[in-house]
Structures are given as structure tokens and as C-alpha cells.
Amino acid sequence: MNELLDNLNLRFDYAALNSEVTEADVRRTCAEAIQYELCAVCFNPVWIRIASEIVAGTGVRVISVAGFPLGANRTSQKVIEAAEAVQDGADEIDMVANIGWLCSDRFVEAEAEMRKVRRNLPEDVVLKVIIEAGKLTSAQQVDATSAVINSGAQFVKTSTGFFGGATIEQVEILHRAARGQIQVKASGGIRTLDQCREFLKAGASRLGSSSCVNILNELRRTRA
């Protein structure tokens, strides 16, 4: 089981997405991501240019969000937001699906929106789609994952973290529904090493958290 935690740093997307995040917070988050050799940092679009300049050449990737956190923007706005973030240096986009459509079983429309965002991004930019699993039934989570697969995105992501965090059950459902065709990102409320172990065991390959540094320090203490 402990092997799941090998290279745990490379599983982490270090998120700083609250409205009160300052440039100083962005610079600190990037510096810590570089120090701990994390997979990526994740910010709102306004900070992407600065973040990409700070982490350039370090191996740390930059993630921007689109349609965050409600997912209720027009599709055209999500497309523009994602494309402009890439112009600013984003390597990945975490897009919030239209949650109202998912809750209403309007998966065809939700999938069309995801596909439109995907088609307007360069091929080498990773697209993760947030489905806010806590708002959906188990069956809707499965259907939403199928929509993500069909859209061409690379990840289905549990949640924004603004309306409740990920659960083990959600990750297990999404992992089964993904059938190895896309990956699963667990996000929201991940604050301990034990949680990381359980989410990875359940099938997550990436973890979104604002507590990466504390968790990795906890891991170092357990292995000292």
C-alpha cells in the first residue's frame, strides 16, 4: 500500500483558487511547487501569465480554470477563457461542466460544450472536466464521465472544492466509468496523507489540494 505514495509529489496539483488570492500568494505557491517538485500549480485566469513566468523551465505545469466555479457561463465564454489562458502560458485547463445540464440529464448538450472547448485548445494542452460529482446521482456520475470521454478530454475531475470535497465512493465510480480511457482527478477537502492513499487506491491519478506542502511534510516524517 505504501508504494501508492511513491512520487506522491508528482500527483499533486497545488491549488490557490480563492477570491482573495494575491500576487504574493501566487509567488509563494509557485516557489513551494518548485521546491517540492510538484506536478502543477492551479490558479484563476488572472494569475496565469505571472505563474507561467515563475515556473518556466522547472518542470512544474500551470493549470488555469474555465467556467469556475459554477460552470454556468456560456459555452463561448468558456472557450475564450480557456484559449486565452493557454496564450498566457497554461499547460492544462480545468473546466467546469454545465452542472445544471448534468443534473437535468442533458448529457448531449454537456458533451457538446466539453467538445467545443477541447477542439479550441492545442492538442498538447490537457483538458480536465469538473463534473461536481457531489451534486449528481451515481448514475449521473457515470453518464457525465461518458460525456467527458466522448468529448476528447483527458480527465474527469470530481469537484471544484467550493461545494464539498471528493469522496472515495465518487472516485471509485468515476474510475470504473472511465474504463481506462481517461484519468480521474480527485479534488476538494484533501488535507491528509491517509486521504491521499485512499484516493489513489480508489483510482485517482491526480490530486487537487491546497494542502500539498503539509501532506508531503507529513509523508517525510513517516519515512524519516
Residues forming the active site: 94, 157, 185
Gap between the Cα atoms of 68 and 95, Å rounded: 7
Q: In this structure, which amino acid lies at residue 101?
A: W
Residues in the chain: 224
Q: How crowded is residue 9: how many other Cβ atoms within 10 Å of its Cβ? A: 18
3-state SS, one letter per residue, for the chain: CHHHHCCHHHHEEEEECCCCCCHHHHHHHHHHHHHCCCCEEEECHHHHHHHHHHHCCCCCEEEEEECCCCCCCCHHHHHHHHHHHHHCCCCEEEEECCHHHHHCCCHHHHHHHHHHHHHCCCCCCEEEEECCHHHCCHHHHHHHHHHHHHHCCCEEECCCCCCCCCCHHHHHHHHHHHCCCCEEEEECCCCCHHHHHHHHHHCCCEEEECCHHHHHHHHHHHHC
Per-residue cell: 178: 472511465
